[in-house]
Amino acid sequence: MRIALFYHSLVSDWNHGNAHFLRGVAAELIGRGHEVRVFEPRDGWSLCNLIREQGLGVIDRFREVYPGLQSTFYDPAMFDRADLRDVLDEALEGVDLVVVHEWNPPELVGRVGAHRAGGGRYRLLFHDTHHRSVTAPEEMARYNLTHYDGVLAYGRVIRDLYLSRGWAARAWTWHEAADVRRFHPRKADREGDLVWIGNWGDGERTAELETFLLEPVRALGLSARVYGVRYPEAGRAALADAGIHYGGWLPNYDVPKVFARYRVTVHVPRRPYVRALPGIPTIRPFEALACGIPLVSAPWNDVEGLFTPGKDFLIARNGEEMKRHLWAVLNDASLARALSAHGRATILARHTCGHRVEELLAIDAGLRGLPAKKEVAA
């Protein structure tokens, strides 16, 4: 098939945690022989911030790591052009399937939908990987999905919201997953006890980071490092006070090498996911388990049964449990090995980008045989 993917960015993962999955899906589709074109704005917020902070060399490094992936850059100003339809005609000529990610402006989402209504013969899907459907529904209501075939939602609760609020006639649960072509165990010399990879969180997990990361590291005297972006001065000071080294931005494709240098990692989900979006772990546990590093997680409700808590990873209900679990993993080699093996086996059995591409292709095949207005909650 010929497939077009509209991403905020394929090239940049600066404050763009979805990049891992989006890249993995594109690579998997190409690996199966499909013709894939990725479109992203040339002045995308993530890419501009990455270049401003790291320089143009990061683009060359991305191309070295992902030689089969490339973006077609477009000018967002074209939304104001009268001949936009001609631009989309050229971009989408002969395309069979189009997927538009939610981190795109409503104007683009609407224009692609209008193009489809004007005679486009492709299947058209919207891909939602954020909590705004719950925390900022007025923002998501701005996205006109009238002419879309349906929504790929990375959690059942989000899928149900699209259907119950009438934002889409069809919606499917489509969780993120690990790109095991690149995320797998590596060999490396140890540099420390604990590593955490994640952005500061815009105030959505400040207290949780203190409870489940900073205080346990401080109390146990662990050698620890944190990677991520958008850390305010107060956040960096808190890391230093806990004795944690701050590593700044880390390219997503380098995460496996970093995991290999440490003995354990933690998962600290943002508050909106814990409170309003049960069943959605975000990409971080998939990454850790795929790489075989033992994981201890702050509480989140796995209502969809993606994992087996206690075997794939340990759950800490509070700060004291986090300290006990971390101490156990660091001092019981058999426990660490068991968690590592079970977690990776679960990823390989159920949660790779290959699995998700199979789901996507099944959805597409179903659309080709479904009545146009039939409602589906798969």
Mean pLDDT of the chain: 93
User: Whole-model pTM?
Assistant: 0.94
Q: Is the pLDDT of residue 374 over 60?
A: no
- In terms of DSSP H, where are the helices of 9-140? 19-31, 45-54, 57-65, 84-91, 106-117, 132-135, 137-140
Residue type, 378: A
**DSSP string covering 335-364, please?**
HHHHHHHHHHHHHHHH-BHHHHHHHHHHHH
Average pLDDT over residues 210-215: 97
Please check the confidence at residue 371 and state whether its pLDDT lies above 50: no
| H/E element, 329 | helix 319-331
Lowest pLDDT segment from 163-167, 259-263, 329-333, 339-343: 163-167
Mean of pLDDT values over 156-168: 93
In what order do the strands lie in the sheet containing 376-377?
A: 71-74, 35-41, 2-6, 97-101, 123-128, 150-153, 170-173, 376-377
Q: What's the residue count for the chain?
A: 378
| Among 51, 130, 142, 146, CA closest to 105 | 142
Are the CB atoms for 208 and 268 separated by under 8 Å? Answer: yes
Q: What gap in Å lies between CA 232 and CA 282, rounded to an integer?
A: 23
Model pLDDT, residue 378: 40
From 81-85, 210-214, 240-244, 284-288, the region with the lowest mean pLDDT: 81-85
What mean pLDDT is predicted for residues 320-347?
98
The angle that helices 57-65 and 45-54 make with each other, rounded to 10 degrees, is 110
Secondary structure (H, E, C), 135-203: HCHHHHCCCCCCCCCEEEECCHHHHHHHHHCCCCCEEEECCCCECCCCCCCCCCCCCEEEEEECCCCCC
Q: Which distant-in-sequence residues (6+ apart) come within 8 Å of 52 by Cβ?
A: none
Lowest-pLDDT choice from 17-26, 119-128, 286-295, 365-374: 365-374
Please state, in angstroms and rounded to a whole number, the distance separating the CA atoms of residues 248 and 225: 10
Least confident of 50-59, 89-98, 267-276: 267-276
State the Cα–Cα distance between residues 334 and 138, nearest whole angstrom.
Answer: 49
pLDDT tens digits, residue range 46-84?
Answer: 999 999 999 999 999 999 999 999 999 998 877 666 666
Q: Is the pLDDT of residue 346 over 60?
A: yes
pLDDT for the residue numbered 372: 39
**Residue 324 pLDDT more than 80?**
yes
pLDDT at 353: 98
High-pLDDT (> 90) share of the chain, %: 83
Residue 84: its pLDDT value, please?
Answer: 66
Indicate the residue type of 356: R
Tell me what the mean pLDDT of segment 266-272 comes to.
89
Confidence of residue 377 (pLDDT cuts 50, 70, 90): very low
Residues of the chain above pLDDT 70, percent: 96
Note the pLDDT tens digit of each residue in 96-151: 999 999 999 999 999 999 999 999 999 999 999 988 888 788 888 889 999 999 99
Q: What contacts 327, CB < 8 A, 6 or more positions away?
A: 220
Residue 132 · residue 108 · CB < 8 Å: no
Given a cut of 80, whether residue 376 has pLDDT beyond it is no
Distance of CA 196 to the CA centre of its chain: 16
**pLDDT for residue 370:** 54
User: Residues 14, 18, 21, 22: is their CA dihedral positive or negative?
Assistant: negative
Task: Check pLDDT > 90 for residue 332.
Answer: yes
User: In this predicted model, what pLDDT tens digit does every residue of 192-209 receive, in sequence order?
Assistant: 999 999 988 778 889 999
DSSP line for 26-51:
HHHHHHTT-EEEEEEETT-HHHHHHH
* b/e code 68-99 from CB counts within 10 Å (16+ = b): ebebeebeeeeeeeeebeeebeebbeebebbb
